[in-house]
Structure 1
Amino acid sequence: MNFNYHIPTKLLFGKGQLNTLHLEKLPGKKALIVISSGKSIRANGYLDRLEKELSLAGISYTVFDKILPNPIKSHVMEGAAIAKESGCDFVIGLGGGSSIDSAKSIAVMAANEGDYWDYIFGGSGKGLPVPNSPLPIVAITTTAGTGTEVDPWTVITKEDTEEKIGFGYEKTFPVLSVVDPELMLTVPPHLTAYQGFDALFHSTEGYINKTAYVMSDLYALKAIELIGRSLPTAVNHGRDETAREEVALANTLSGMVESTSGCTSEHSLEHALSAYHPSLPHGAGLIMISRAYYTHFAKAGCCDSRLIDMARALGVKDAREPMDFVNALVQLQKDCGVDELKMSDYSIEKEELTKYVDKAYETMGGLFEVDPAPLSREDCLLILKDSYR
């Protein structure tokens, strides 16, 4: 029962919370607003609403709107240069995980010299210490997927070397986050599913992780329960406010899992796939490999009680066997209409699976060290082969 606990983010959760932003003490006088290159943030009026809140608070701003679904280093560097040139003293990420992750990385580089990859551990990163504190970060999430609004992590791809690597430390926690389920009502069904499963796997990986402890367990099991109960409704009836609220809460709890425990190699493997194939949504990639991944650990006998706990959290009240979790997971994917996803639809070729395993070890090998049992390269290759369609 000895542990350290640190989640310093002030959280505004609930319907209509975006409308209260102007009442908060914001961490600067001029913001760089980071949004995606897509149309939804503007089309749904979310950017207008944020700009109104900032105007009411007497805050000026500049908008950077180039972020891709799998964000890239060159946009981090471009956004940081704009923040410096414009005199921005804090950064707001408005949108999904890609925009908020990018905001964190931009905040680092807006306060520091050199290249973003100078500070990355793994792959070709130099792993240097960050000299100056990042600009303060405000996160406003419009999706329920990554939990990045309450964790320090950011995942960016270095496009020229096809390396997708996570980064973060205690100073990249957002200082303030808004989770307003009202902003999630417009997310299409397939993206709702991809994002919801990302949150689920942050929680399941955090629960079987070697670093799991009493605080992360609390968050993980509640997040799994909420997703099992409400994700199918959120996917199939997107205007259901109760379902959206429960999935939003699960997402935030999954971020708290990320802040207390963390991911396992499931994320290493998926990051390798989407680093090479950036059109592959992160959540979809995780779904594709999840059945084989968790079946491996169910058969390994290394975390039986934890898999059974997760099956019960997903609603299998009489769960007795580790495979009960895998079966419940597959059923949830069917209920959300994502059980037939194919790697081949994203130009992933079965003959090249070995290179994804190698890339996973090369770029995010550290996550293999916290798996509940050792996972060899041969094991990983079998998981990918079993997942391939």
Structure 2
Amino acid sequence: MKFQYFIPTKVLFGCGQLEMLHKQKLPGKKALIVISDGTSVKKHGYLARLQEQLEKASVAYAVFDKIPPNPTEVRVMEGAEFVKKEACDFVIGLGGGSIIDAAKAIAVMATNEGNIWDYIFGGTGGSKVPKVAPLPIVAITTTAGTGTEADPWAVVTHQDRNEKIGFGYDLTYPVLSIVDPELMLTVPEKLTAYQGFDALFHSTEGYLNVISSPINDMFTLKAIELIGKYLPIAVKDGKNVEARENVALANTLSGMSEGISGCISEHAMEHPLTGHNPKLEHGAGLIMICEAYYAYWAKTGIVDQRMIDMAKALGKQDATKAEDFVTALHALIVACGVDDLKMSDYGIKKDDLRMYTQAAYETMGRLFERDPGELVFDDCLKIYENSYK
């Protein structure tokens, strides 16, 4: 019963909350707005609505629109140079998890020397601790996937080394986050599913994490319950506000879990897949390996009761054994129409699975330390092999 609880972010949750931004005490006079290199936030009017809110608050802004789906080291450093050039004193991430992650990393490099990779823990990262506090961060999420609006983590990919690694500390929590489900109504069907499963696995991994606590258990089980009930509805009817609200809430709860518990080796195993294959969506990569991954833990007998708890939360109320969670998980995958995903469709070769296993330990090895038991190299490789098609 020993744990720490620290989530310093003010969260405005609910439909229409973006319109409340101008009434908040914003952390500066000029914002760098970080958005993707795509068109969605412009096309759907979200950027214009944010700009209107800042103008009402008498806050100036500049826009940095170069972030790819997997934020890269080079784009983070470009953003850091841009924020200095524009003399912005805080950063707003407007978009999905990748955009908010990039905003956090840019905020760090706006005030610190060197390269973002100097501060990455794992792989070829320098493992330095930033000497200067980052610029304040505001997160406005347009997806329900990573929960990064409520946690300190930022995942960055080194484009030359195929390393995708998370980074963060107490000062990279956003000071303010807006979770407005109305901004999520335009997310396409497949992306809704991929993002929802990412949120699900943040919670399931958090629940199995050896440092889980009673507070974390409360967040994770509720998130699992909401995703099991509402994600299939949100996938099939993206305009269903009730479903979007509940999946968004599950996502934010999973982000809170990320801050006080965190991921285990499932995420360590997925990161090399997207690190080497940037066209693969993170959530899709997680779906590909999840059944074999949780089947492994079910067979160990180490976390039987916790897997039964998760199965019941996911909707299988008659669960009596750990394997019932894998059954419930498969049913959710089918219900969301993502049971046809194949690694081979993304160019992943079976002959490379040993390389991916090695990369998982080398880049995100610290997550294996949070597993409920030991996951050795050969068993990790076997999970990849059992997932391959």
Residues 30-74 of structure 1, C-alpha deviations (whole Å, 9 max, x = no match): 000000011101000000000000000000001000111111000
Q: Which amino acid aligns with 1:3?
A: F
Counterpart in 2 of 1:388? 388
- After TM superposition, list the pairs within 5 Å mapping 1:1-389 onto structure 2: 1-389=1-389
**Aligned residue type for 2:49:** R
Cα distance, 1:380 vs. partner?
A: 0.9
How many residue pairs end up in the alignment?
389
Q: Provide structure 2 residue ranges, at least 5 long, that are not aligned to the other structure.
A: none
Q: Percent identity?
A: 63
| TM-score of the pair, normalised by structure 2 | 0.99
1:388 & 1:94 partners in 2: Cα distance? Answer: 35
Secondary structure at the residue paired with 1:177?
A: strand
Structure 1 segments of 4+ aligned residues over 2 angstroms from their partners: none
Deviation per CA, 1:136-163: give whole Å up to 9, x if none.
Answer: 0000000000000000000000111111
RMSD, aligned CA: 0.5
Aligned amino acid, residue 387 of structure 2 = S
Q: State the alpha-carbon separation in 2 of the partners of residues 128 and 288 from structure 1.
A: 33
Partner Cα distance (2:88, 2:255) in 1: 27
SS at match of 2:54: helix
With normalisation by structure 1, the TM-score equals: 0.99
The one-character-per-residue Cα deviations of 1:203-246 (angstroms, maximum 9, x if unpaired) are 00000111111111000000000000000000001100000000
Amino acid at match of 1:300: T
Paired with 2:279 and 2:232, the residues of 1 have a C-alpha distance of 24
Separation in 2, partners of 1:243, 1:125: 40
Equivalent position SS for 2:358: helix
Q: Distance in 2 between matches of 1:2 and 1:233?
A: 38
1:323-376 deviation digits (Å, cap 9, x = unpaired): 100000000000000011000011000011000000111111000011111111
TM-superposed CA distance for 1:2, in Å, is: 3.0
Whole-Å separation in 2 of the counterparts to 1:361 and 1:240: 41
Tell which deviates more after alignment, 197-206 or 120-129. Answer: 120-129
The alpha carbon displacement at 1:202 in A equals 0.1
Q: In structure 1, give the amino acid aligned to 2:12.
A: L
Amino acid at match of 2:349: E
Give the partner amino acid of 2:168. G
Letter in 2 for 1:36: S
Shift of 1:3: 2.3
- Counterpart CA distance in 2 for 1:142 and 1:262 is 22
Distance 1:262 1:53 in 2: 33
Give distance in 2, aligned partners of 1:292 and 1:245: 30
Gaps of 5+ in 1: none
Spell out, residue by residue over 1:155-214, the C-alpha distance to the aligned partner (whole angstroms, 9 max, x if none). Answer: 000111111000000000000000000000000000000000000000000001111111
Q: Aligned equivalents of 1:91 and 1:183: distance in 2?
A: 19
SS in 2 for 1:61: strand
Q: Secondary structure in 2 aligned to 1:370?
A: coil
How many angstroms does 1:318 deviate by?
Answer: 1.1
